[in-house]
């Protein structure tokens, strides 16, 4: 799948996941939208992406437990973006 196709997939996934507000307060999957292009293309993440990742970090286990968001958060490029931002994605939730 080409990078543009992956980016479209990520945007569509986030559009569907937008209503998913998790009980932990402030866990909104669409907050990760600024990271979509970096994840899809493998380019360095923006400052906004890193800021949002850091704010959403407490939500990662919840995102990983949800089938609609797990493949987005757990993808190899998402892991690279997280490392570039200095954020760790848990492997054990």
Give the pLDDT of residue 26.
77
How do residues 40-82 score in pLDDT, each as one tens digit?
Answer: 998 999 999 999 999 999 999 999 999 888 888 888 999 999 9
How far apart are the C-alpha atoms of 44 and 35, rounded to whole Å? 9
Q: Cβ–Cβ contacts within 10 Å for residue 88, how many?
A: 11
How do residues 20-40 score in pLDDT, each as one tens digit?
Answer: 444 445 788 899 999 999 999
The class that CATH gives domain 3-85 is mainly alpha
Give the pLDDT of residue 42.
87
DSSP string over 34-74: GGHHHHHH-PPPPHHHHHHHHHHGGGHHHHHHSHHHHHHHT
């Amino acid at each position: 799948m080409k990078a543009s196709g992956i980016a479209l997939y990520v945007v569509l996934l986030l559009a569907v996941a937008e209503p998913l507000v998790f009980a932990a307060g402030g866990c909104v999957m669409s907050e990760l939208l600024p990271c979509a292009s970096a994840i899809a293309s493998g380019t360095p993440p923006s400052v906004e992406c890193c800021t949002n990742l850091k704010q959403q970090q407490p939500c990662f286990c919840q995102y990983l437990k949800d089938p609609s968001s797990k493949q987005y958060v757990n993808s190899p490029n998402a892991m690279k973006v997280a490392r570039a931002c200095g954020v760790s994605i848990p492997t054990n939730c």
